Amino acid sequence: MSLTNNPNVLKWVEEMTALTKPDKVVWIDGSKEQLDSLIEEVTSLPDGDKDKMYKLNPDKLPGCLYHRTLPNDVARVEDRTFICCRNKEDAGPTNNWCDPKEMYAKLTPMYDGVMKGRTMYVIPYSMGPIGSSLAKVGVELTDSIYVVLNMNIMTRMGKDAFKNLGDTSNDFVRGLHSKADVDPEKRYIVHFPEDNTIWSINSAYGGNVLLGKKCFALRIASYQGKNEGWMAEHMLILGVKKPDGEVKYITAAFPSACGKTNLAMLIPPEGYKKDGYEVFTVGDDIAWMKQGEDGKLYAINPENGFFGVAPGTNAKSNYNALASTSKNTIFTNVAINNDDNTVWWEGLDKNPPVNATEWKGEKVNGKEYTSVIGADGKPQKLAHPNSRFTAPAENCPCISPEFNNPKGVPVSAIIFGGRRASTTPLVYQSFDWTHGTYVGSAVSSETTAAATGAVGVLRHDPMAMKPFIGYNVGDYWAHWLEMGKKLGDNAPKIFNVNWFKQDENGNFIWPGFGDNMRVLDWIIKRCEGKIDADETAIGYVPKKGDINVKGIEDEVTPEIMEKLLAVDKDLWTKEIAEMRRYYKEDIADKGGRIPAELEEELNKLEARLNK
């Protein structure tokens, strides 16, 4: 039985049912009874079924489930991800493009009858709090119970989602997914922004099949935001409660492996805790931001859970993230400790289980297995390096009291950051919104040993959005500039941070983790106009002594602080040359429409540096 009278939804579900030909159609109402029944069904499937899930130890991990994907289906597949808009130029140089007619013609036969013998689940969901004017509605059709159960954690799923849509609106995102075949050459994750539509086929991995996540919340939403005058960004949202009780909200964008989740769930150092500082998590991955009635920029987290990378997460590196996985969590491609039916991954602790099942399903002696050298010449992992947990946000010990506020939270500062060994200081502030937009366009990270290929190669990732902009990157930058004009004096201040500066021996010279609170403290004081700064060619940097190092004086000496905040003319001259190359060769020459204002910011930066 359908959960809505909306003719636009009903017509589309009818059309997709006729195409995919499932044996039956089940509408997901989000009730506990329905979800419990699906859990019983999916955990009763035989081993080897692509949807099979396992119950974990109910005493140690209550309500938690385990799933493993196929070994060739373990991550987002950017080369199989497409933006299909009518004009190729509108997709721009950072996206794979295909003509919508051509892509529909290619995929329709693949979906024809694909759900025969299976059930189609109709998942209504809200991205953002039910009733929020910032929220948007999606409907995902899938033949996977794994997807239903994950969407229940990651979104506000169920019949209430239709409240925002009503009985007449056509403003919902249509998502069609089938796990279908296992052939990666037939795997497609396709966005039709002009049709509000996402089609995903031949994958069962979260990032490719939980269509509310990157597909809707960033690629489609960034396109919607451009047309409707708001912003969908790959940003965490955190609140810092000061001793006087006021909470300041900050959003931040970082490429992968730059400490985004750790910052979102930061635990302040002891001295700050004693003074009454607290950090609240509003979101760890995505922010939707819109101008409020008072002229300020407000942010919501469109998601309802965390889809986190398991390896490296432990009580020391991120206590709050680990605590979030303690109940009602789905673990994917981690290892199993067979002695007590719990989970394990590299970096959780230093004691791999002896009686283990590794991520592909093979029973092994964990301690011996982790010393076996694989075909790539590296020790074998019990958990896949991209293994995941899907955890409810409500489990997080530091979740913000404003998490479900339909109005969102007012943003005081926006932070960009990357992993840079030398050039970029620990923190600097842009001169204004236009300069800050340039700083965001210049976000880049140096490759680490964890990535394949050479170490220290610069990878550009503008606003940490490169894989997620649903349209031309140049038009995206122009939209940022437009938002700045709209916000005027109410625009948040824009900063850049770099936790990863190194000494001549390759050691990090900033302690990072909880001590990043010291940088947030300076940023907040700058936003409040309570502290001055030194003007440099690249922006405003902290004055000597203005970053609080109380308690870490032995680690961060005045000499080290000087290195952390240094602006080296030679390095920045190289940076400017690289940005000119990047703008021309990677963007403009490939159809990216770079706003003149950003070219001008680059010229101004060079002029200031040469003064």
pLDDT attached to residue 222: 98
Decide: 462 and 442 in contact? Cβ < 8 Å: yes
Kindly indicate whether the domain formed by 306-394 is annotated with CATH number 2.170.8.10.
Answer: yes
pLDDT attached to residue 507: 94
pLDDT attached to residue 455: 63
pLDDT attached to residue 181: 76
d(CA 157, CA 478): 34
The single-letter DSSP state of residue 157 is E
pLDDT attached to residue 282: 98
Fold match between domain 233-302+401-566 and domain 306-394 = no
Angle at CA of residue 299, ends 296 and 305, nearest 5°: 170
Decide: 28 and 36 in contact? Cβ < 8 Å: no
pLDDT attached to residue 257: 78
Characterize 481-502 residue by residue with b for buried, 16 or more Cβ atoms within 10 angstroms of its Cβ, and e for exposed: bebbeebeeebbbbbbbbbbbe
Grade residue 182 by pLDDT with cuts at 50, 70 and 90: low
The helix/strand/coil state of 574 is: helix
User: Which amino acid is located at 251 in the chain?
Assistant: T
Decide: 219 and 469 in contact? Cβ < 8 Å: yes
pLDDT tens digits for range 537-574: 999 999 999 999 999 999 999 999 999 999 999 999 99
Decide: 198 and 176 in contact? Cβ < 8 Å: yes
* In the predicted structure, residue 454 carries a pLDDT above the cut 80: no
Looking at the domain covering 233-302+401-566, what would its CATH class be?
A: alpha beta
The single-letter DSSP state of residue 89 is G
The helix/strand/coil state of 261 is: helix
d(CA 180, CA 186): 10
* In the predicted structure, residue 451 carries a pLDDT above the cut 50: no
The helix/strand/coil state of 482 is: helix
Which two structure tokens, joined as six digits, stand for 232?
A: 């969908």
pLDDT attached to residue 188: 96
CB-based contacts of 241, cutoff 8 Å, min separation 6: 247, 276, 277, 278, 279, 280
pLDDT attached to residue 259: 86
Please state the domain extents for the chain: 7-51+77-229, 233-302+401-566, 306-394
* In the predicted structure, residue 452 carries a pLDDT above the cut 70: no
pLDDT attached to residue 185: 87
User: Which amino acid is located at 494 in the chain?
Assistant: I
Of 64, 85, 215, 258, which is the active-site residue? 258
Closest by Cα among 515, 247, 516, 291 to 403: 247
String of DSSP letters for 164-210: HHTTT---EEEEEEE-----GGG-EEEEEGGGTEEEEES--SHHHH-
d(CA 46, CA 34): 21
pLDDT attached to residue 50: 87
pLDDT tens digits for range 580-603: 999 999 999 999 999 999 999 999
pLDDT attached to residue 273: 96
Characterize 294-326 residue by residue with b for buried, 16 or more Cβ atoms within 10 angstroms of its Cβ, and e for exposed: eeebbbbbbbbbbbbbbbbbbeeebbbbbbbbe
Q: Classify domain 7-51+77-229 at the CATH superfamily level.
A: Phosphoenolpyruvate Carboxykinase, domain 1 (3.40.449.10)
CB-based contacts of 129, cutoff 8 Å, min separation 6: 135, 156, 300, 404, 405, 406
Work out the mean pLDDT of the chain and round it to a whole number: 96
String of DSSP letters for 510-558: S--GGGGHHHHHHHHHHHTT-S-EEE-SSSEEEPTT-S--TT-TTTS-H
pLDDT tens digits for range 59-94: 999 999 999 999 999 988 889 999 999 999 999 999
Average pLDDT, integer, range 89-118: 97
Would the pTM of this model clear 0.95, i.e. be above it? yes
527 in active site? no
What pairing do the DSSP bridges indicate for beta strands 119-127 and 24-27? Answer: parallel
* In the predicted structure, residue 16 carries a pLDDT above the cut 50: yes
Counting residues of the chain whose pLDDT is more than 90, the rounded percentage is 93
Q: Which residue has the tokens 């500039």?
A: 481
User: Using CB atoms within 10 A of its CB, is residue 59 exposed (0-12), middle (13-18) or buried (19+)?
Assistant: exposed
